[in-house]
Amino acid sequence: MSWSEVEEYLKKDNRIIIPIGSTEQHGKFAPLGTDTFAAIALAEDTSTRTGVLIAPPLWFGWSPHHLVRPGTISIRAEVLIEVLYDIIRSLAKHGFKKFVVVNGHRIVNIPWMQIAAERAQRELKVRVVIFDPAYMSKEIADKLGFGPVGHAEEIEISHMLYKYPQLVNLSKAKDYVPKEKPLYHVDPRDPRDTLCYVPSTEEDMKALIEASGDSIVGRPTMSSAEKGKKYHEYLVSRLAEVLNMLKEG
Ligand SMILES: [Zn+2]
Protein backbone atom coordinates (compact mmCIF):
# COMPACT_ATOMS: atom_id res chain seq x y z
CA MET A 1 0.00 0.00 0.00
CA SER A 2 1.02 3.60 -0.43
CA TRP A 3 0.77 6.08 2.45
CA SER A 4 -2.26 7.64 0.79
CA GLU A 5 -4.06 4.30 0.76
CA VAL A 6 -3.37 3.99 4.49
CA GLU A 7 -4.77 7.50 4.92
CA GLU A 8 -7.93 6.48 3.02
CA TYR A 9 -8.29 3.38 5.22
CA LEU A 10 -8.05 5.51 8.36
CA LYS A 11 -11.07 7.54 7.27
CA LYS A 12 -13.26 4.48 7.76
CA ASP A 13 -11.44 2.23 10.25
CA ASN A 14 -8.90 2.47 13.07
CA ARG A 15 -8.21 -1.24 13.63
CA ILE A 16 -5.03 -3.06 12.60
CA ILE A 17 -3.57 -6.56 12.98
CA ILE A 18 0.14 -6.95 13.82
CA PRO A 19 1.48 -10.46 13.09
CA ILE A 20 4.49 -11.47 15.18
CA GLY A 21 6.26 -14.82 15.05
CA SER A 22 9.79 -16.08 15.42
CA THR A 23 12.65 -17.36 13.33
CA GLU A 24 13.59 -20.52 15.15
CA GLN A 25 14.31 -24.16 14.42
CA HIS A 26 11.25 -26.37 13.95
CA GLY A 27 12.98 -29.72 13.47
CA LYS A 28 14.50 -31.09 10.27
CA PHE A 29 11.16 -31.10 8.51
CA ALA A 30 9.64 -27.62 8.95
CA PRO A 31 10.93 -24.13 8.18
CA LEU A 32 12.54 -21.72 10.62
CA GLY A 33 9.75 -19.27 9.84
CA THR A 34 6.91 -21.60 10.95
CA ASP A 35 5.63 -19.31 13.73
CA THR A 36 5.69 -16.21 11.54
CA PHE A 37 3.97 -18.05 8.69
CA ALA A 38 1.22 -19.07 11.15
CA ALA A 39 0.68 -15.47 12.28
CA ILE A 40 0.68 -14.21 8.68
CA ALA A 41 -1.79 -16.87 7.51
CA LEU A 42 -4.24 -16.04 10.31
CA ALA A 43 -3.86 -12.30 9.73
CA GLU A 44 -4.28 -12.52 5.95
CA ASP A 45 -7.31 -14.78 5.87
CA THR A 46 -9.02 -12.73 8.59
CA SER A 47 -8.19 -9.52 6.76
CA THR A 48 -9.78 -10.90 3.58
CA ARG A 49 -12.92 -11.64 5.54
CA THR A 50 -13.15 -8.42 7.58
CA GLY A 51 -11.25 -5.82 5.54
CA VAL A 52 -9.05 -4.96 8.54
CA LEU A 53 -5.54 -3.85 7.62
CA ILE A 54 -2.39 -5.85 8.49
CA ALA A 55 0.94 -4.30 9.49
CA PRO A 56 4.08 -5.92 8.06
CA PRO A 57 4.98 -9.00 10.12
CA LEU A 58 7.76 -9.10 12.68
CA TRP A 59 9.81 -12.20 11.82
CA PHE A 60 11.69 -12.34 15.13
CA GLY A 61 10.68 -13.31 18.63
CA TRP A 62 12.19 -14.44 21.91
CA SER A 63 13.86 -17.79 21.16
CA PRO A 64 17.03 -18.07 23.25
CA HIS A 65 16.40 -21.78 23.85
CA HIS A 66 16.45 -22.59 20.12
CA LEU A 67 19.83 -21.00 19.39
CA VAL A 68 21.31 -24.50 19.69
CA ARG A 69 20.25 -24.94 16.04
CA PRO A 70 21.60 -22.89 13.11
CA GLY A 71 19.36 -20.34 11.45
CA THR A 72 17.55 -19.42 14.65
CA ILE A 73 17.52 -15.65 15.27
CA SER A 74 16.45 -14.55 18.74
CA ILE A 75 15.84 -11.00 19.86
CA ARG A 76 16.14 -10.14 23.53
CA ALA A 77 12.94 -9.84 25.55
CA GLU A 78 13.53 -6.12 26.16
CA VAL A 79 14.05 -5.60 22.41
CA LEU A 80 10.73 -7.31 21.64
CA ILE A 81 8.99 -5.01 24.13
CA GLU A 82 10.55 -1.91 22.58
CA VAL A 83 9.97 -2.95 18.95
CA LEU A 84 6.31 -3.78 19.53
CA TYR A 85 5.82 -0.55 21.49
CA ASP A 86 7.45 1.48 18.69
CA ILE A 87 5.32 -0.20 16.00
CA ILE A 88 2.17 0.68 17.97
CA ARG A 89 3.42 4.20 18.74
CA SER A 90 4.14 4.88 15.05
CA LEU A 91 0.74 3.65 13.91
CA ALA A 92 -1.08 5.41 16.78
CA LYS A 93 0.42 8.70 15.64
CA HIS A 94 -1.48 8.32 12.35
CA GLY A 95 -4.80 7.51 13.96
CA PHE A 96 -4.84 3.75 14.52
CA LYS A 97 -6.52 3.10 17.87
CA LYS A 98 -7.27 -0.62 18.11
CA PHE A 99 -4.48 -3.16 17.76
CA VAL A 100 -4.66 -6.94 17.60
CA VAL A 101 -1.26 -8.55 18.02
CA VAL A 102 -1.32 -12.10 16.60
CA ASN A 103 1.37 -14.22 18.22
CA GLY A 104 2.54 -17.12 16.06
CA HIS A 105 5.25 -18.03 18.62
CA ARG A 106 2.71 -19.54 20.95
CA ILE A 107 2.99 -18.80 24.68
CA VAL A 108 6.67 -17.75 24.56
CA ASN A 109 6.38 -14.14 23.31
CA ILE A 110 3.41 -13.33 25.54
CA PRO A 111 4.95 -11.74 28.68
CA TRP A 112 6.85 -9.18 26.59
CA MET A 113 3.83 -8.44 24.43
CA GLN A 114 1.81 -7.89 27.60
CA ILE A 115 4.35 -5.38 28.92
CA ALA A 116 4.37 -3.50 25.58
CA ALA A 117 0.55 -3.62 25.38
CA GLU A 118 0.09 -2.25 28.89
CA ARG A 119 2.53 0.59 28.28
CA ALA A 120 0.93 1.44 24.95
CA GLN A 121 -2.57 1.50 26.47
CA ARG A 122 -1.42 3.71 29.34
CA GLU A 123 0.74 6.13 27.40
CA LEU A 124 -0.89 6.25 23.96
CA LYS A 125 -4.57 5.87 24.89
CA VAL A 126 -5.07 2.98 22.48
CA ARG A 127 -6.57 -0.49 22.88
CA VAL A 128 -4.24 -3.49 22.43
CA VAL A 129 -5.29 -7.13 22.57
CA ILE A 130 -3.09 -10.20 22.17
CA PHE A 131 -4.36 -13.15 20.13
CA ASP A 132 -2.43 -16.35 20.79
CA PRO A 133 -3.43 -19.51 18.90
CA ALA A 134 -2.66 -21.78 21.88
CA TYR A 135 -5.11 -19.85 24.08
CA MET A 136 -7.65 -19.28 21.32
CA SER A 137 -7.92 -22.88 20.09
CA LYS A 138 -8.52 -24.74 23.34
CA GLU A 139 -12.00 -25.86 22.31
CA ILE A 140 -11.21 -26.94 18.75
CA ALA A 141 -7.89 -28.58 19.71
CA ASP A 142 -9.77 -30.99 21.96
CA LYS A 143 -12.34 -31.74 19.25
CA LEU A 144 -9.61 -32.43 16.70
CA GLY A 145 -7.88 -34.78 19.16
CA PHE A 146 -4.65 -32.79 19.16
CA GLY A 147 -2.05 -33.66 21.79
CA PRO A 148 -0.57 -30.93 23.97
CA VAL A 149 1.27 -27.90 22.64
CA GLY A 150 4.92 -28.86 22.26
CA HIS A 151 7.27 -27.71 19.56
CA ALA A 152 6.80 -28.54 15.87
CA GLU A 153 4.09 -30.91 17.07
CA GLU A 154 0.94 -31.98 15.22
CA ILE A 155 -0.90 -28.70 15.87
CA GLU A 156 1.45 -26.25 14.20
CA ILE A 157 2.56 -28.78 11.59
CA SER A 158 -1.08 -29.52 10.60
CA HIS A 159 -1.52 -25.77 10.21
CA MET A 160 1.59 -25.61 8.00
CA LEU A 161 0.45 -28.63 5.94
CA TYR A 162 -2.78 -26.80 5.19
CA LYS A 163 -1.35 -23.33 4.44
CA TYR A 164 2.24 -23.97 3.29
CA PRO A 165 2.57 -27.69 2.37
CA GLN A 166 5.50 -26.99 0.06
CA LEU A 167 7.59 -25.91 3.07
CA VAL A 168 7.16 -29.12 5.09
CA ASN A 169 8.89 -32.45 4.50
CA LEU A 170 7.03 -34.80 6.83
CA SER A 171 9.11 -37.80 5.70
CA LYS A 172 11.94 -36.35 7.81
CA ALA A 173 9.77 -36.02 10.94
CA LYS A 174 10.19 -38.20 14.01
CA ASP A 175 7.91 -38.05 17.04
CA TYR A 176 9.33 -37.41 20.47
CA VAL A 177 7.26 -37.25 23.62
CA PRO A 178 9.42 -36.67 26.71
CA LYS A 179 8.49 -37.86 30.17
CA GLU A 180 6.27 -35.31 31.90
CA LYS A 181 7.94 -32.99 34.38
CA PRO A 182 6.19 -32.87 37.77
CA LEU A 183 4.02 -29.76 38.29
CA TYR A 184 4.85 -28.38 34.85
CA HIS A 185 2.06 -28.51 32.26
CA VAL A 186 2.15 -25.27 30.36
CA ASP A 187 -0.39 -26.07 27.62
CA PRO A 188 -3.31 -23.69 28.30
CA ARG A 189 -5.70 -26.66 27.87
CA ASP A 190 -4.17 -28.55 30.79
CA PRO A 191 -6.33 -28.10 33.91
CA ARG A 192 -3.66 -29.30 36.36
CA ASP A 193 -1.68 -27.11 38.75
CA THR A 194 1.52 -25.94 37.14
CA LEU A 195 4.60 -23.81 37.52
CA CYS A 196 4.84 -21.03 34.95
CA TYR A 197 6.56 -21.38 31.60
CA VAL A 198 10.30 -20.74 31.43
CA PRO A 199 12.23 -21.56 28.22
CA SER A 200 14.53 -24.56 28.34
CA THR A 201 18.21 -24.05 29.09
CA GLU A 202 20.90 -24.91 26.58
CA GLU A 203 21.64 -28.04 28.64
CA ASP A 204 17.95 -29.06 28.46
CA MET A 205 18.02 -28.58 24.69
CA LYS A 206 21.19 -30.64 24.33
CA ALA A 207 19.54 -33.44 26.33
CA LEU A 208 16.48 -33.18 24.07
CA ILE A 209 18.67 -33.45 20.97
CA GLU A 210 20.50 -36.43 22.44
CA ALA A 211 17.27 -38.25 23.30
CA SER A 212 15.21 -37.41 20.22
CA GLY A 213 17.66 -37.14 17.33
CA ASP A 214 16.03 -33.82 16.45
CA SER A 215 14.93 -30.85 18.55
CA ILE A 216 11.17 -31.05 18.73
CA VAL A 217 8.52 -32.10 21.24
CA GLY A 218 5.32 -33.84 20.19
CA ARG A 219 3.92 -36.00 17.43
CA PRO A 220 4.38 -34.29 14.06
CA THR A 221 3.70 -37.57 12.21
CA MET A 222 0.05 -37.28 13.35
CA SER A 223 -0.31 -33.99 11.43
CA SER A 224 -2.80 -33.60 8.61
CA ALA A 225 -3.79 -30.81 6.26
CA GLU A 226 -7.44 -31.64 6.93
CA LYS A 227 -7.08 -31.03 10.67
CA GLY A 228 -4.97 -27.97 9.88
CA LYS A 229 -7.78 -26.56 7.76
CA LYS A 230 -10.35 -26.94 10.57
CA TYR A 231 -7.91 -25.46 13.09
CA HIS A 232 -7.11 -22.54 10.79
CA GLU A 233 -10.72 -21.77 9.94
CA TYR A 234 -11.68 -21.88 13.61
CA LEU A 235 -8.91 -19.42 14.52
CA VAL A 236 -9.85 -17.12 11.64
CA SER A 237 -13.44 -16.99 12.96
CA ARG A 238 -12.17 -16.28 16.46
CA LEU A 239 -9.91 -13.52 15.20
CA ALA A 240 -12.78 -12.02 13.18
CA GLU A 241 -14.89 -12.17 16.36
CA VAL A 242 -12.20 -10.25 18.26
CA LEU A 243 -12.05 -7.60 15.53
CA ASN A 244 -15.83 -7.22 15.64
CA MET A 245 -15.74 -6.82 19.41
CA LEU A 246 -13.19 -4.03 18.99
CA LYS A 247 -15.29 -2.35 16.33
CA GLU A 248 -18.22 -2.23 18.68
CA GLY A 249 -15.96 -0.81 21.39
ZN1 LIG B 1 6.41 -22.93 16.49
Query: Rounded to the nearest whole angstrom, what is the distance from the C-alpha of residue 155 to the centroid of ligand 1?
Result: 9
Distance 245 CA to ligand 1 centre (A): 28
- Residue 101 confidence (pLDDT): 98
Which whole number is the average pLDDT over 75-86? 98
Mean pLDDT of 1-18: 98
Averaged pLDDT for residues 140-154: 97
Cα of 30 to ligand 1 centre, how many Å? Answer: 9
Distance 37 CA to ligand 1 centre (A): 10
Q: What percent of the chain has pLDDT over 70?
A: 100
Task: Quick: pLDDT tens for 85-108.
Answer: 999 999 999 999 999 999 999 999
- Strand, helix or coil for residue 176: strand
Residue 64 CA to ligand 1 center (angstroms) comes to 13
Ligand 1 centroid to Cα of residue 22, in Å, is 8
Q: pLDDT band for 235, please (50, 70, 90 cuts).
A: very high
| pLDDT value of position 16 | 98
Confidence of residue 82 (pLDDT cuts 50, 70, 90): very high
189 CA from centroid of ligand 1 (Å): 17
- Ligand 1 geometric centre to CA of 47 (Å): 22
Distance, CA 97 to ligand 1 centroid (Å)?
29
| Cα 105 to middle of ligand 1, angstroms | 5
Mean pLDDT of the chain: 97
Q: What's the 34 CA to ligand 1 centre distance in angstroms?
A: 6
Please give the pLDDT value at position 70: 97
122 pLDDT higher than 90: yes
Q: Which backbone phi and psi does 208 adopt, to 5 degrees?
A: -65, -45
pTM for the full predicted model: 0.97
Instruction: Please determine, for residue 249, whether its predicted confidence score (pLDDT) is greater than 80.
Output: no
Q: With both helix axes pointing from N to C terminus, report the angle between 154-163 and 225-247 in degrees, rounded to the nearest 10.
A: 90
Question: What is the CA(150)–ligand 1 centre distance, in A?
Answer: 8
Task: Compute, in angstroms, the gap from residue 10 CA to the centroid of ligand 1.
Answer: 33
CA of 21 to the centre of ligand 1 (A): 8
What is the CATH T-level fold of the domain 12-247, as seen in this structure?
Rossmann fold (3.40.50)
Residue pLDDT, tens place only, 150-192: 999 999 999 999 999 999 999 999 999 999 999 999 999 999 9
